[in-house]
Structure 1
Amino acid sequence: MSVDTHLREYPAVKRAYGSVAAFDDAPQWIYELDNPYLHGACAPTLNEMEVENLEITGQLPADLQGAYFRNGPNPVHQPKNRFHPFDGDGMVHGVYFRDGKVSYRNRYIQTAALKQEQAEDRSVSPGVMGPFDYSVSPFGIKDTANTDILWYAGDLMALWYNAGHPYRLDSQTLATQGHFQLDGRAQLRLSAHSKTDWQTGELLFFDYGDEPPYMTYGVASPDGRLLHEVAIDLPGPRLPHDIGFTSNYTVLHDLPFFHDMEVLRKHKYRVLTFHKDIPTRFGIIPRFGSGDQIRWFECEPCYILHVSNCWEDGDWIVMDGCRSTNPMPGAQAADGELASMLAYMRLEANAYRWRFNLRTGEVREGDIDDLNTEFNKSNPIFQGVKSQYSYHQRIPLLHEGGHTLRFTALVKYNNENGSRQQWDYGPGVFGSEAVFAPKPGADRNSAEDDGYVVTLVTDSNNWQSDCLVFDASDIEQGPIARVRLPQRVSHGFHATWASGEDLFNHRADAES
């Protein structure tokens, strides 16, 4: 396929990438659609594979034991309607580090919706952007489980952007084992960013919907049993994306960015609106508290995708995260029917800190830095207690060429003073969410940044993908090891780290 021949036919792709790349490992139907989230760094790959003994350059740390897992959209069939990245079938990539060797495998998440579409060999879901005709799809909007991935109860849990049905994946093979059902809970649905507390092994979860109760919050035991769940009183349907937690409390979000229910009921499509006149609210509830124990704190109107960490400081609860005052940036008429999706995915946000006083009700908030960054992670050992560092992805703004969501640099923040280190991936190189990999035996007495940061990159100059390993204490020196992956990895969403002790020793104990 000639790239130049098709430039005029793909104005949205041209604005994003400058050209239309042709891939042997991508479905041919993508070339019929002018959607930048189906081309370039986002072009899906069809291959599932397992490859051992990958090529390593640099010095791979001998004590790096565990695996990096990353979830993301990888559509199998040509979409029935306009494509949104949340519609792409979930695919998980795993890079395993063990005894100085590295292996790779990837698998589709075999969701109920994907199985139906594979049986019919076509897309049947209306997609996130609609129009919604549920008569042809019992699943309505397709729950793709393509957003988050976390280690819980001895396996991997894959979750979807909108509160969906989580799936259990075998951590060794990535094979789908069905829904991840919490014992004692009738409802399957969980939000994408439910959290595992590394200290207790507990799952802190929430879900939400269009009907009362608009949110529930709960806790599950390390072995997958429901311990606690309560309804959270909200004024109407909301679209919270994340939560934070401390040793004793959980921080829930009520954000002024939600869809109009009357439009949804009458016209069968969703219109998201940022209500600048409605304050953002954070609800602080004891970990095992009742609904009437929640305390709400009002803050400046904003939207939040991801929390870095929370902790208790005397009477105060501190929350670090990334804050957006414009969750629909850069809408352009030239983008046509894709305008709202492209605007939402561009993502303007910066590192920010909120402080809530449980005794007086006082709120303090302010910027940590003004650089446009997101997809923020921190050392999971320090989740829930005071921490200093977080690791973000640099995201170009629209005027910097950020027509689509893309990660161009790894940024390490010192959230106490706002200083940062940055390592650029390079021209035309796109990154993935980076995770912190603690050294074996590390605990809260260890230095917080004594470990490694791991991520994936894809180079659009040759479409080669690599896994990069950084010394977390000095990311500006660049990766200390680079692992060549056996295939191109398209852009994705979230990632997690599973320690070797959990991943390898747990499986050995289970099989013995």
Structure 2
Amino acid sequence: MTANSHSSYPLTERCLGSAPRLDDSPEWIYDIDNPYLHGVYAPTNHIDVSATALEVEGEIPKDMDGAYLRNGPNPRQKPKNPYHPFDGDGFVHGLYFRDGQVSYRNSQIQTAALLREQEEGQAVWPGVMGPFDFSLPDSPIKDTANTDIIWHNGRLIALWYNSGIPYTLDPVTLENLGPLESPSTLSRKMSAHSRVDWQTGEMFFFEFGDEPPYMTYGVLNPDGTLKHESPIDLPGPRLPHEISFTENYAVLHDHPLFHDINVLKRHNMRVVHFHRDMPTRFGLIPRLGTEVRWFECEPCYVLHTSNAWEDGDWVIIDGSRSTNPMPQADPSEGALSHMLAYMRLEANNYRWRLNLRTGEVREGPICDLNSEFNKSNQIFHGVKSRYAYHQKIPLLADGGHTLRFTGLIKYDNETGQRQEWDYGPGVFGSEAPFVPKRGADRSSEEDDGYVTTFITDTNNWSSHCLVFDAKDITQGPIAKIKLPHRLPAGFHGWWARGEDIYR
């Protein structure tokens, strides 16, 4: 199969003999029949690249001041067991904007696991598909710091989906600065999707694991010191993925998607099930409190919320909701069937309303379109907001799989109306953060700014950054920046303001 036709082959198709050979990928991937190691997902050998003379179509806005950062998997060693994207070593791309100029750099995150495997020249840790090895330090599976990237207290912090050790980088040079010195007395780990309140400078974080109390909630001061922490008692091990906040509360998640700890202990495997007869719960905890008030909602799984805020007696949560987070595995896909089922993604834009006085819950869809990896203007996090920027995902029948993003959607969550921009045949995007204009605050219009995304074109294996006017994405990108090499598909992005990173 040629490179030009690659983008149409189903993700579940056996890859060897059909996926294109890419000159910038490690050779060992061609020994492994796993779609998340090939094509748009293939790792790259372009490490520690820095470039300034980037080709630009259109014009970069002069009030676009800061950095678009994105984390994702870039495995360096041949895996010792079936590969899952969560196993790929964390790899950060940064595109830096200032005064109408732009530069690029990247950095592999130097986790303890990566450094040891580089020293030994082979994989040491198993991945999330197991079997787990509890004799290894820090984690029985590889802690990759590959999921999220955020800015706080003058540093970038790389975080992992499965709750791992946070690693820090210089926000401008992407130099590795080592593990975050955890101020927490309860855990040295953090999950992905910790949140930073741009108004107060506080950082809200959580951690989860397989031992009671199963979750820890905490708040860091703007200087990185611990302000508050509290154990959260859950019924058992859970796999929460998100936290959000309002002016007075943090919002915790307890979803009916989890594993049986006894199976893990007996077989060293984490087998996840979606329990359709159990409610999803959102927990409201005072920002510096210890008592959680839980609200029961319809069964679902929520990977990402756009925002949360208070409106009188109500707390409103906007996010992407999946009622089928574990599609039926196809036995014909062999050893990868459960991983592929889990990585298929069905979700839609949704709103929950929780009444603080009566305990009533009201919920319903904003739109039924398949979309996820939603972002919003961080200036308005914690207070009422209107707009969210999602990635469009094809339906499962059309190859709707995680990280195959075919278009950008701007939602008006008050009216349910949307704007769309398709990336084009064989072109796949990335999570797209909102970029406020230099000096913007809550007196600015919420959508007065830009939206950025990385794309990779499988027709010629080039990668670009697209910059959109957030008020009207339907006009297409106002700037298209050619990157110095192909970017593998990644997970989450962040906009770091120039006033934070260039001071």
Structure 2 spans left out of the alignment, 5+ residues: none
Contact in 2 for aligned 1:67/1:97 (Cα 8 Å): yes
Query: What residue is the counterpart of 1:510 in the other structure?
Result: none
With over 3 angstroms needed to count, the CA separation of the structure-2 counterparts of 1:494 and 1:440, relative to structure 1, is same
Superposition map of 1:300-339 within 5 A: 300-339=298-337
User: C-alpha distance in 2, partners of 1:144/1:286?
Assistant: 31
SS of residue paired to 1:161 = coil
TM-score (structure 1 length as normaliser): 0.94
Q: Which residue of 2 aligns with 1:86?
A: 86
1:417 Cα shift? Answer: 1.2
Equivalent residue of 2:265, what SS?
A: helix
Give the aligned partner of residue 279 of structure 2. 279
Cα distance, 1:405 vs structure 2: 3.7
**1:203-258 superposed Cα distances (whole Å, 9 cap, x missing partner):** 00111110011111111101100010011111111111001110111111111000
1:346 to 344, 347, 350: 344
Contact persistence 2:307–2:381 (CA under 8 A): yes
Distance 2:413 2:368 in 1: 12
Q: Is the 8 A contact 1:27 1:45 kept in 2?
A: yes
SS at match of 2:303: strand
Q: Does 1:47 align with 2:46?
A: yes
On the 8 A contact 1:395/1:408 being kept in 2, the answer is yes
Deviation at 1:19, TM superposition (A): 3.4
Cα separation, partners in 2 of 1:458 and 1:18, compared to 1, 3 Å: farther
1:323-380 per-residue CA deviation (whole Å, 9 max, x = no partner) reads: 0001012522221111111111111100000000101111100000000000000000
Cα distance in 2, alignment partners of residues 405 and 58 from structure 1: 27
Bigger drift between 14-23 and 202-211 goes to 14-23
Q: Give the residue type in structure 2 aligned to 1:425.
A: Y
Q: Is the CA contact 2:15–2:33 (under 8 Å) kept in the aligned structure 1?
A: no
1:133 to partner: Cα distance: 3.2
Shift of 1:132: 2.2
Please list, as runs of the form range in 1=range in 2, the aligned pairs for 1:68-467 lying within 5 A after superposition.
68-135=68-135, 139-183=139-183, 185=185, 187-290=187-290, 293-402=291-400, 405-467=403-465
**Equivalent in the alignment of 1:36:** 35
Deviations 1:163-209 (A, max 9, x none): 11100111112121111124364621011111111111100011111
AA of the residue aligned to 2:451: V
Secondary structure in structure 1 of the residue aligned to 2:222: coil
Q: For residue 145 of structure 2, give the secondary structure of its aligned residue in structure 1.
A: coil
Could you tell me which residue of structure 2 aligns to residue 23 of structure 1?
A: 22
CA distance in 1, matches of 2:24, 2:173: 22
Give, in angstroms, the shift of residue 404 of structure 1.
5.4
In the alignment, the residues of structure 1 paired with residue 123 and residue 350 of structure 2 have an alpha-carbon distance, to the nearest angstrom, of 40
Q: Alignment partner of 2:502: what SS?
A: helix
* Partners of 1:407 and 1:432 within 8 A in 2: yes
Q: Which stretch of the first structure deviates more once superposed, 395-404 or 449-458?
A: 395-404
Residue number in structure 1 paired with 2:65: 65
Deviations 1:438-474 (A, max 9, x none): 0011111111000000110000000000000000000
Equivalent pair of 1:16/1:402 in contact (CA under 8 Å): no
Q: CA RMSD in A?
A: 1.8
| Distance in 2 between residues matched to 1:81 and 1:70, nearest whole Å | 27
Q: Encode CA deviations 1:87-139: one digit per residue, 9 max, x unaligned.
A: 00000000001122111111100000000000000001111101223446764
After superposition, give the CA deviation of every residue in 1:407-438 in whole Å (9 maximum; x if it has no partner): 00000000011110000000000100001010
Q: Tell me the CA shift for residue 397 of structure 1.
A: 1.9
Contact kept in structure 1, 2:404 and 2:429, CA below 8 Å: yes
Partner of 1:509: none
Shift, 1:396, TM fit: 1.1
Contact 2:403–2:490 (Cα < 8 Å) also in 1: no
Alpha carbons 2:468, 2:478 under 8 Å: kept: yes
With structure 2 as the length reference, what TM-score do the two structures score?
0.96
1:300 aligned partner, one-letter code: E
8 Å CA contact retained: 1:125, 1:137: no
SS in structure 2 opposite 1:237?
A: coil
Task: Report the Cα offset of residue 27 of structure 1.
Answer: 0.4
State the aligned residue count: 498
Q: Which amino acid aligns with 2:411?
A: Y
